[in-house]
Structure 1
Amino acid sequence: MNARIVTGPAPGTTSTTTTATTTQPVTGPAPGSDAGGANATVARANKPQGTADFSVAAVFSHHMVLQRHRPIPVFGHGKPGMQLRVRLLDTAPAADSGAAALIAEAAGQILPDGSWRILLPSQEAGGPYQLEIRDLTGTQLVFHDVMIGEVWIASGQSNMEFELHSTREAAQAIAQSADPMLRFYNTPKSGDISDALFEAERESSWQACSPDTTGTMSAVAYYFAARLRRQFGTAMPIGIIDCYIGGTSITCWMDQATIESSDAGRPYWQRYQQALAGHTEQDFHDMTLAWKTKFDHWNAQIESARTANPNVSWDELNAAYGECPWPPPVTPHSQYRPTGAFTAMVARIAPYAVRGVLWYQGEEDAPYSASYAVLLRQMIALWRRVWRIDIGADADQHSSDACTEHTAYTAYTAELPFIIIQLPQWIDRATDEAHADPLDWPVIRDTQWSASRDIPGVTTVCTIDCGEYDNIHPYDKRTVGERAAAIVLRTMYGYRQIAAWGPEPLEIQSYGNTDDGGGVLIRYRHATGLRFNGTVPGTGNTDTLDAVSRAAGQSGFELAGADGIFHDATAQIVPAGIKIGGTAGIFGRENSVGRADDGTPLNHATVSDTPISHTPIDDSTAIRVYSPDVPQPAAIRYAWKSWGPAPVRNAAGLPAIPFRASVSRL
C-alpha cells in the first residue's frame, strides 16, 4: 500500500506540515483550527435558550440571516402536543401606531417525538427584523437584528475549515472585513450528541463580520461571501453557516443506513467497528486523554516556536519537536468517526433554509478513491432528503401564503445546489522524490467533475492551479472562494457577463496515425484566448515557454495505446483554418462533454474515428495532442497527476479542467 501523509495543525500560523508516513488515510485539521476536541467558543450574552417546554435549534440566534424567496422553517424540540406560534416583526415603528409591524406569522404543534417545525412564508431581502416564538402560556423566545438575504452552508474538511486568520493575506483581509451585512455562524464541531455539545450550542451565535470576528471564519467561505456582497451591493445581507471538521471522511457526513447501503460505504463502517472492538468506555477515555495531552503539548511548542521565528521551516520544527501526533484514536464519540458529523452537526442545522452548499472535501478519502464516486452521490442525495420539506403534508399548521409556494419550494429542496470545490494539485515531497504518486487525487478530481455532469444542481469549481507542493493546506483561499462565487453569480444569480468557466473538453476525436501527422484533437468550450501559461501552480506568467505549444512532459497531456501505458505527449493549439492531415477539425455534437455557456452540463466525453469535416475550427478552441511513442492512441488524459504540469488556460486566466477519456478506434 502506498504510504499516506500525516498533516497536523499549527495554531495561529500560515503554514502546515506534511510529516511522517502511515498506512491510514489521514489529512488532519486545518492549521490554526481547534482540533483537540470541543470548539473554543465564546459565550454570547442574552441568547434565548428556551425552556423545558420548548427550545429552538441552536442555529437560531440574534443577528441571524434567513434565506429570501423560500419558506422559512423554524424548528426545535419540546413537550409533545404543545402549541407554538412564530412571528416575524419589522422593528421599525409603524407611522400610525408606533408599534412593530407584523410581517408574517404561522402556528404549529410539537409532534409526538418531541420535534416541531413551523414554516413562515417566504420574504424579500431586508431587515432588521425580530423573530418571536411563543407558547400559549406566554413563554417566548425573541431574536433581534434578524436579516433576510442569501444563506450558504460551507462544509467539508480542513481546506474549508482553514480559517481566515491562517491565510497569507490574513492581516489585511481581517483589517478590511468590517461588514455588518455579512454574517456567519460556526456550527459547533462534534461527532457525538453530548452535554459538551449542548453547552457549545448554547454559546454559539451568528456574528457580523468585523476585525474582531472574521479571523475564525472559513477563509474560502469569507472570500466567497465577500464577493457576493460586492456584486449584490449593500442592500443584500449574506449569511454563511460554517459546518466542517478537518480530517473527516465523507462518511462522517452521512448516516449509518446510507453508509451501509452500498459496497462503497460498508468497508468504512466495518473498519470503524473493527477499531472499536475489544475496548471499553474507560479505554476510549484514556486513549483520548493521552492523545489530547500529547497533541496540545506539541501544538503549544509549535506555536511558541513560530511566534519566536515566523520564518522557521517545518523541517526545523519537526526535527526539534517531532511529528504531529495524528490521527487521534478511534472512539464511538470521535468527530472523525463515520456518521459523527452528520448526526451531531448536519442533522441539527437542517432544514434551516439556505440557497446551497459549498463542499470542499475528499483528501481524507483518497486511498479509497474508487469508492468516492458512489459515496459523493449518496451524500448529496441524503442531504437533499433532510432539507426537503413537504409543505402539503403540514398544510394545517402553515399560513395559506406558505402553502401557495409548495411547488416551487419542493423543487428547490429536492435539488439543494452543491458547489463542489475540486481538489487542487498536491503531493508530499517524500512521495514525489520516490516517484510513487498513487494517482488517488486525480481520481477524486474526476469524480467531483463527473458529479457536476451527472447530477442536476451540482457544479464543480476547478482549482487545479491553486495547490502548493508539499503543503496539503494551500494558503491561497481568496482565489478559491472568489472562483466559487463567480460560478454561482453566473449560473444561479444571472450575472452572465462574469467569466466563470475554464476551458472544458467539448469534443475529442482521434484521426490518422501519429507516424503520418495524426493524433488526437480536443475542442474546448469556454476557450476564448486559449493558451499555455506556466507549468505547475505558481508558475503562471513567470516562464518563457511557448504559449501555443508545449513539448512532451510540459503540456500536461498524456496518450496511451492499447497496452494502457501512458506517455507524455506534445500539444499544440490549433488556430482557425489550419489543415491537419488534409482536413480541418470540427467535431460532431454527439461527442461532447462539459457544459453550455449558461452552465448546463452536457453529456459525457466519447471519442470516435469519424472523419473530420472540412469546416474550419473556431480560432484558438482546439488542441492537437500527439506522441511518436503512441502511433494509435487508445486513451488520453490531461493533468492526471497529483502534482504536475497543467498549463492550459483561457483569456480570463481560468484553468482547464483535468480529464481522461478513452479513444475508440475502428
Structure 2
Amino acid sequence: MGEPTQTKTVATGPAPGANMSGLASDIGDTVDKPCGTAALRPAAIFSHDMVLQRHRPIPVFGTGEPGRTVIVRVSQNGSAEPIKILSRTASGTAVSASDSVSAFTTVDDHGDWLVTLPALEAGGPYELTVSDRSGITLTYLRVFVGEVWLAGGQSNMELELRNSAGADAAVAASADPLLRFYNTPKTGVIDTDAEDHAIWQVSGPDTSGYMSAVAYYFARKLRAELGPDVPIGIVDCYIGGTSITSWMSRATLETSEAGRGYLARFDAAIAGKTEAQFEAETTAWKTKFDAWNDAIGKARAAEPDITWDTLNARYGECPWPPPVTPTSQYRPTGPYGTMIERVAPYGIAGFLWYQGEEDEAHCDSYRELLGRIIDEWRGLWNDATLPFLIVQLPQWIDKNTAAAGADPLHWPVIRNAQWDAARTVPHTFTITTIDCGEFDNIHPADKRTPGERLADCALHHVYGRDDIAVDGPAVASCTETAGTVTVRFDHADGLRFDGTVPGTYGEDGNDPSHRSAIDSGFEIAGEDGRFRSAEATIVADDTVTLQAADATRATAVRYAWRSWGPAPLFNGNGLPAAPFRVTVR
C-alpha cells in the first residue's frame, strides 16, 4: 500500500487549564510592580525577582516621552556580594568588582528607548532602578543575574506543571529561590492591563504549577548542573493551538510561498465580515470553550485517572478551532506582535521550541517556515548565533484514524523538518522524543523527559558539557548485498531493541537483538517505491540488518515513519534513534 495522501486537520487546542494562567491576581500591595507611566515605562517583562542574562550586555528597554533621559542602574543595595563586571581585553575576559553599574540613553522620536548595561557575572540579589532627571524613579528588587531561556510554541510547551505526570510531587518539591519564571500574557491584541499583572515569580509550591512543565524540568536540571549559585530564568511565551505562522511577522511570511498561503487563507476567512460578527462569533465560542474547559478541569481534579474517552462522552469534544478573526491570538502574526515583540530583546541565552502539531495539514512547508522563524527571532534579539533548541514531535495518533488505518503520515514530515533544521541551520539543535507520547492523547503528560533532554542538549552544545550524552543512534551508512540491507549507526554503543511503542519500553520478554517485521519500525522500499515492513537484527555493536518479504532491489529505508508506530531502537545511554528516511547506496 502506498503512502496516504489525504489531508487531515487536527484539533490540537490549548493545553488543559493553561489559558492566561500564571498572572498575578492583583496590582498594588500584592504585586507592587513598578509599571511607570506614559512619561517613562519599562517593558512589562521588567519586575521584581527578574533574572538578567549573564555574560552578555544587558538590554533594558521601554517607552517614554521623546527626548527624555533614561538612566538604568544595577546596585548592591546592601547585598554582601559585589557586582562582577565583565569586559573584554586583548588577553581574554577581565572581571572587576563594583557596588553599582549604570548606563543612560535618550527616548527616541518614536517614543522608544533601550539602555545597554555591561555584561555581568552571575550573582545577586541586586536592585535595578530606571529613572530620569525629573524625579521619576522605578525600583526593582531581588534582581539576579544568571541564565535566561525563552520557552516558545504551542500546547505541549504550554502544558503546565500542575497538569503533568507526577504533578503533586513535583510541585511540592519545587521551592528554589534561584529558579524563576515570567509568564508572557497570552493575548491576540496588546493588553497593557494583563502586562501589568505579569511578573517574574520565584519557583515554589504556590507558583510553579503555572509554569510550563517542559520548561520547569529544563530549568531544574540546569540549576542542578550549572552550579548552586547560577540562577535560571524562564520566559514562558506560548499559546496552545497556534501555527508556526502565529509567531512570525507578516513581512517575513510574505517573503515565502508557504507564508503567503497561510496569509491568503486567513484573509479569505475574514473577508466580508463585520466587527460585530467577529465579536459575536468569538463570544459564543469562548463561552462554550470556557464551560467545556472548566468542566474538564473539575472532572480531572475529582477523578485523576479519568480517560479522555470518558471525558469526551460526558462533555463532548473540545470546541475547536476558534473562529477566525482579525484579533484572534491564533491568527497568523498574532502572538508575534502581542508577545514575542513585547519581550524582545530581553537578554536570553537561547530559545526552546515545541511546536508543529497545528501545522500538520501543511506539513510540506514546515521546514521552510521553521528556518524563517529561527532567522526572524534571532534578528529581533540582534544575535544570529542564539541557540535554538527544538523538541521533535513525539508519537501520537487519534484512535479513529488508527482504527481506520488512515495515518496521513504528516507528523513524520514535521519531525523530519525539525531534524533537518538541526543539521543545516547553525546553532540549532533538535532532541528526539519518538519514544514519548500517548495514543489518542495529543497532550502527553510526561513532560519531564523532553524537559530534561532539552537541558542535556543545552548543557552539551551550549555550556560545553561533553560528558553529557545527547545523541541517539544515527545512520552512518545504508547498503544492500544479496537482498539484505545493512544499516550502520553512529552513537551506537550498547545498541539494542526495547519494546515497540511508548508504554511498552522496559517490559519483560524483550529481545534486545531482534524484531519481527511488524515490530521493528524499519521499512524497505523496492524499485516500485512501495515501503514494506522489514525484519531487523542487530548483528554488531553498530549494525542492523534488514530483510523484507517480496521486496525487489532496495532503494530506500525508513524508520519510525509513522504518526504512531514501532520505534524500538536505542543505544546504551537510553537515547532513541530518531526517525529517518535514507537512500540505499
Q: Could you state the TM-score of these two structures normalised by the residue count of structure 2? A: 0.94
State percent identity of aligned pairs.
Answer: 53
Question: Aligned partners of 1:459, 1:415: CA distance in 2, in Å?
Answer: 12
1:284 aligns with 2:313: no
Find out whether 1:645 has 2:563 as its counterpart. no
Residue 663 of structure 1: how far off its partner (Å): 2.3
Structure 1 residue 2 displacement after superposition: 7.8
Counterpart in 2 of 1:42?
Answer: 25
- The aligned runs of 1:573-612 (5 Å cut-off) are 573-575=538-540
Question: Which amino acid is 1:377 matched to?
Answer: G
Letter in 2 for 1:640: W
**Partner in structure 1 of residue 111 of structure 2:** 114
Counting matched residue pairs gives 565
Of 435, 446, 457, which residue of structure 2 is paired with 1:487?
457
Q: CA deviation at 1:144?
A: 0.7
| C-alpha distance in structure 1 between counterparts of 2:377 and 2:187, whole Å | 18
Which residue number in structure 1 is paired with residue 90 of structure 2?
A: none
Aligned pair 1:555/2:524, yes or no? no
**Structural mapping, 1:122-271, within 5 Å:** 122-193=119-190, 197-271=191-265
Partner amino acid, structure 2, of 1:295? F
Match of 2:492 among 524, 527, 531: 527
Could you tell me which runs of 5 or more consecutive residues in structure 2 were left unpaired when the two chains were aligned: 83-96
Cα displacement string for residues 13-55 of structure 1 (whole angstroms, at most 9, x for unaligned residues): xxxxxxxxxx644310011212xx7976423521111122111
Per the alignment, do residues 285 and 2 of structure 1 end up closer, same or farther by CA in structure 2, a change over 3 Å counting? farther
Structure 1 residue 102 displacement after superposition = 3.6
Amino acid at match of 1:42: S
Give the letter aligned to residue 213 of structure 2.
A
Q: What residue is the counterpart of 2:57 in the other structure?
A: 71
Alpha-carbon distance in 2 for matches of 1:120, 1:304: 47
Mapped contact 2:79–2:126 kept (Cα < 8 A)? no
SS in 1 for 2:127: strand
Q: CA deviation at 1:532?
A: 0.5
Is the counterpart of residue 472 in structure 1 residue 442 in structure 2? yes
1:512 to 478, 481, 485: 481
- The residue that corresponds to 1:368 in the other structure is 362
- Structure 1 distance, partners of 2:113, 2:380, is 15
Q: Please report how far the alpha carbon of residue 311 of structure 1 lies from its aligned counterpart in structure 2 after TM superposition.
A: 3.4
Q: CA deviation at 1:84?
A: 1.1
- The within-5 A match list for 1:295-306 is 295-306=289-300
Deviation at 1:494, TM superposition (A): 1.9
Counterparts of 1:50 and 1:459, CA distance in 2: 39
The 5 A counterparts of 1:445-460 are 445-460=415-430
Aligned partners of 2:188, 2:73: CA distance in 1, in Å?
Answer: 33
Which amino acid letter does the alignment assign opposite residue 360 of structure 1? Y
For residues 22 and 492 of structure 2, the distance between their equivalents in structure 1, rounded to whole angstroms, comes to 45
Decide which moves more: 485-494 or 457-466: 485-494
Q: 1:111 to 1:574 in 2, by over 3 A?
A: same
Structure-2 separation of matches of 1:3 and 1:29: 25
For 1:131 and 1:187, locate their aligned partners in 2 and report how far apart those are by CA, in whole Å.
Answer: 21
Amino acid at match of 1:542: E
From the superposition, tell whether residues 628 and 297 of structure 1 become closer, same or farther in structure 2 (CA, over 3 Å): closer
The aligned runs of 1:645-664 (5 Å cut-off) are 645-664=566-585
Distance 2:208 2:124 in 1: 22
Partner of 2:87: none
2:426 maps to 1:429: no
Once residues 217 and 204 of structure 1 are traced to their aligned partners in structure 2, the CA distance between those partners, rounded to angstroms, is 13
Match of 2:548 among 627, 638, 648: 627
Alignment-mate amino acid for residue 171 of structure 2: I
SS of alignment partner, residue 284 of structure 2: helix
1:544 and 2:509 aligned: yes
Give the whole-Å Cα distance in 1 for the aligned partners of 2:22 and 2:177.
Answer: 24
Distance change >3 Å, CA 426–CA 560, structure 1 → 2: same
Contact 1:38 1:190 in 2 (8 A): no
How far off is 1:427 after superposition?
A: 0.4
Moved over 4 A (4+): 1-4, 37-41, 93-96
Offset at residue 245 of structure 1 (A): 0.3
Give secondary structure in 1 for the equivalent of 2:389.
Answer: strand
Contact 1:94–1:101 (8 Å) recurs in 2: no
Distance 2:76 2:21 in 1: 37
1:39-80 Cα offsets, whole Å, 9 max, x none, are: 764235211111221111001110000000000000011111
Q: Decide whether the 8 Å contact of 2:160 with 2:210 is kept in 1.
A: yes
Correspondence 1:331-410 to 2 at 5 A: 331-388=325-382
